Every structure is written in structure tokens, then in C-alpha cells.
Amino acid sequence: MAKEVLMPKLSSTMETGYVTEWIKKEGDKVKVGDPIFEVMTDKIAIEVEAYDEGVLLKVLVKENEVVPVNSVIAYIGQPGEVVDTSKVASTPEVKEEVKAEVKEEVKSAPVASTTSVKVDVKDVRATPAARRLVREKGLDLATVFASMQPSPRLVVADVLAFEQQKPSAPVINTPQATPTPLVDEVTFVPWKGIRKLVKEQMVKSASTIPHVTLHAKVDARELLKLKDELTSSTQKITLTHLVAYFVSRTLLKHPNLNARTSEEGISLIKSINLGIATALEEGLIVPVVHGADKLNLTDLARSISNVASKARKNELSLDQLKGGTFTITSLGASKVVHFNPIINFPEVAILGVSTTTDELRLENNQVVNVPVFNFSLSFDHRAIDGSPAAAFLSDLVAVCEKPSHVILIQ
């Protein structure tokens, strides 16, 4: 008997999901443990493995089709087995998507190829190269487009084909022709995947939390020297690693910033679980290094590099995305010197790190060049007041400017 494949519920907050890719296709053999599809949860894309052996008999949902968790999305059974899908109830989300697709199909229904079809020039879709070639050939854009239906958009090859098929097509005197109005080409990108998660998280944070951001400048001379001294052939130490190390130690003195909020109140967390904002092509993701305050610098640097690498390869586990208590986001590779980071809800604070720049200072009656960078601390003013937030930031700047006083290599 065919076994149902369900849209899994992979986190406590997940209500819907969608298949980003069917790794197995209908008719493919499936073994227990084989990845059969990739699903986008409310946190990350994860490959889902098969619990049954046989053949993927039937796929019920298409890629990128949003369905509720626990919906039947496919069947696995024996070769040749017939699956009765008539009893599978359609979900409201699926119905809406089907309606949208039908509407789109009607809208873009092919038009029979004929030069008698009248097309308004403003309705013509064509590539810039095709429009240029039409002008150079002295042709009428609407006529060429109408003759090439059902092509959804005119390309250079269509214009060349029109010339071959219509050698006697009327040529318009270019100087007297009405100029073709320029039409902007628009690429629509729907909210989906990681970009959708970022959008929802940012809107929730910005609309819920009263943000206040404090800025502080850091003299980076000692920190850069320490970075170079600690970097070896087997372990690269970065400014982000050092900042994360000092943040985890400074938070022990300022526990009010190592917290999460809810409707009921503030939860102060004993363990320092650092979120490391990581930029991907699809959007921003924040993997978490748990117990950062228990790790020495070398182990912390390895852990940060490990979760960042897994994030870029889409190999993070759900545990590595949960439980963050304080987030660090760095724009050190950019030219940005100040920014106001948005708090990673429901945490109460986030630290932004800018790029390093040179600054001239007068020291001992001499002008010296000093490398500096800026901290930007955004905090939830419901949970923290300005004075304790400033005290944390001041202490962090102090240890970063004199790191040899507190660094511990275990």
C-alpha cells in the first residue's frame, strides 16, 4: 500500500512550508534515508529524507507551492501501484495558488500567428537589442511583434525571422517614423525563501521594538596587532573573532543585555549564545554559537568559521539557528563607517561593527595615523535604559583597545 509523504513540521513556529526542489522525480527509486525533497521552513531550507522504500509514485505539489504542515505532498509505493488522490483534500493555500496560475495562463494565452492581429505599440514586450534592430531595419515594432506571436517577448532572432518570412513587408521611412516610446523592463521577485524570512523578521522587529542606537569609536592598533600575532598557518584569527570573544566576556558583567523578550517580560539568559549575522546571496541568516563564554579564543574562532561556512552551504541544523541571546553583525568588508542595525527579535540588543579606516590624531605633539572602527549598539529601550547600554559599550571599547590585559588563551 502506498505511503503518504507529508510536509514536515520542522520547528515549533512552522505553520507552512514549500518544496524548493524535488530531488527525486516521479518514478525514481527511493531507499530509506534518501533525500527526496528540499523544504523551506520558517528558518532554513532542509533536505527531507524518505522513511519508506519503493518508488516515488506521485508528486502532489509543485516546487514553490506553499502548503500547510502535515499536508500530503507525495506518495511512495511499489512499481506500478495506482494511487487514488481523489480523497486528498485541497488546502486553502493550494486553491489560491491554482487560481492565480489559471488567471496567468488565460492572460498569456498564445495568439495565432498572423499579421492581421492588431497590437498597440505600448503592449509590445521586446528586448532592447530587438528594439534597436527594428529601428535600424526601418520596421514597425507592433507589426513585427504581432507577426511573431505567440512569442511572449520579441528577441533579435524574431526580428531576423520576420525579415526572412516577410521580404515585402512595408518599410517605414525612419526619419518620419513615430519614435517608439521607451518601456522599462521590470523583473518581479516575489517574497520567498530566506528573503521572505528576513522581511518578516525585520518588520516584526522594527514595528515591535523601540530601537535606540549608540555609536562608539575604537582605536584598533592593539587589536590589529593581536590579530596578526595570533593568526597562524592553521588558524586564522579575524577582528570578528576577537570582537566576539570580548563581547562574550563583557556580557558576563552586563547580563541585562544577554536576554530575550516576550509579551510577559524579559528572560535573562545565563549562557552567552552569540548570533553571527551571515550574508548569503538569498538574504541574511544568523547562525548561533552556543556557550560562547565557555570557549577560548581558538575554539570560538573555529566555531564562528564553522557555522558561517555551514550557513553558506545550507548545512545548518535547526539547533544552530535557535536560542541566540546577542547578535553581532559586521560590515567590516565594506566602506560603511556608521549604521543602525535592527535587533534580531526577540533578543534585546545587537552590535554592529563597521569597516576600519585611518584617522589622524595628535599624540605627544606628533601627528600619528590611527586605524579605527566603530561599534553601533542597538538596544530594546523597553528592556534596557541608555545608561546601562552605554556602560556595556564603554567597557567593550576599553577591552578592545587594551586586549592584552584581558585576553586568555586556554
Query: 178-187, 192-201, 307-316 — which is least confidently predicted?
Result: 178-187
In the chain, the domains with their CATH numbers are 3-107 (2.40.50.100), 121-176 (no CATH), 193-405 (3.30.559.10)
| 338 among known catalytic residues | no
pLDDT at 99: 35
Distance separating alpha carbons of residues 275 and 300, to the nearest angstrom: 12
pLDDT, one tens digit per residue, over 285-322 is 999 999 999 999 999 999 999 999 999 888 888 889 99
> What is the residue-wise DSSP string for 24-50?
S-TT-EE-TT-EEEEEE-SS-EEEEE-
Q: Kindly name the residue from 299, 385, 395, 405 that is annotated as catalytic.
A: 385
Annotated catalytic residue 120: no
3-state SS assignment for residue 12: coil
Nearest to 216 by CA among 361, 374, 355, 359: 374
pLDDT band at 88 (very low <50, low <70, confident <90, very high): low
Poorest-pLDDT segment among 69-83, 98-112, 131-145, 184-198 = 98-112
Q: What is the pLDDT of residues 349-368, one digit of tens each?
A: 999 999 999 999 999 999 99
Given the residues 52, 215, 381, 395, select the one marked as catalytic.
381
Measure the CA–CA gap between 27 and 33, rounded to whole angstroms.
17
pLDDT bin (cut points 50, 70, 90) of residue 101 is very low
38: cell is 528540499
CA distance 365 to 10: 63
pTM score: 0.63
The set of cell numbers assigned to 231 is 593568526
